[in-house]
Structure 1
């Protein structure tokens, strides 16, 4: 297939991909395509999926194989989503555990982060602490076992294809890891200052609102925890964020742009 302009940050769950990608996208004025923010949007465009509990009950290896199969199916949807943004030659920074080295032969700029098992556990525990999710808590050990299989797969595929892989230890030096990611990706062409940069940040914020609301309804959460939204000022290199719920976001921006500073 013909790919739109993309650079990838992939790797196993809990490696800090999302945080690093958000910071890099804002410093370099890159459109950000965090695959997890399109999870519910993709469900209706794919064949029916087995419940996650059933996948995990089949064992770590089978659950990991299923994750990879679903990731390959979603890859075409990710590419279609990026095309719909109308970015031209400006690459979208695509981030998510669904990106594997074996899928990236046509992606020249890509890097994979592989976390230590302790770091993966800490990251999943931190996510669970943000909201009351009993089903998520019950799945924790099964997910961690699957994550370990996925981490080994990423390492193996990266070595086989000579792609950049960065190990994330139990006590990460995030500044050094971020610098290594930037080195691996090389020079990046971002969006110019102005309304188009603001429009792309708003597009990403609206995707976060949609995903949050659908997740809330799916797990029956009484109230969403606040999370960070990017400033939509359109200034180059803006790192400002604003924290709130999707409803708060709608109120804060009104009919215009969210100005976080």
Structure 2
């Protein structure tokens, strides 16, 4: 267990202690890894991802959890207690009404009520962040969970949430994709598939020409994706990177 001070802060916006990755566990959602704070925090965040997937919309992109660095100094990702869901379709600063249907927004609100005040939606900040879901303020105590969060996590484990959806049970990592391992210098259809998927799912930093040529630009975007997905950052697209991309 290791805690840290970053950007001059010991705690994130919601009151949780900033931590290193060894305070987190890896969950797998649709074969994609996501680091979240271990213990009751992981139970509740995992339950929320399952509820969202079943009731709001399928989770189709990489889930962003704990991060070593962040553009926002008080980010709850630095404490491993926030997740970004379907980020390409719900961009930062764009109101949820622009890319969620009214029915989906109603379901989000229903889920927040079921969470008994333990979850918060980034849509409700002054600067909208509709992809972002986190543990609410008041869910931390010391370096761990508050009694309120612990009681809610136990309710999840006991299966007492009724219509809230299934208890989160992380599936095993996806099997190797069968795609070739590629890196800078490679050419062909596999490279085109890679470039197209990166552009589709991560348009904020991937604007590649889909030409089947794995050059420096593609290498740079691959390394950015690997860093965000908590993979080995080597520019080599092998089974782990293909699986994290959903290919």
Question: Normalized against structure 1, the TM-score is what?
Answer: 0.26
Question: Normalized against structure 2, the TM-score is what?
Answer: 0.27
Q: Which has the higher helix share?
A: 1
Bigger RCO of structures 1 and 2 (CA < 8 A, at least 6 apart): 1
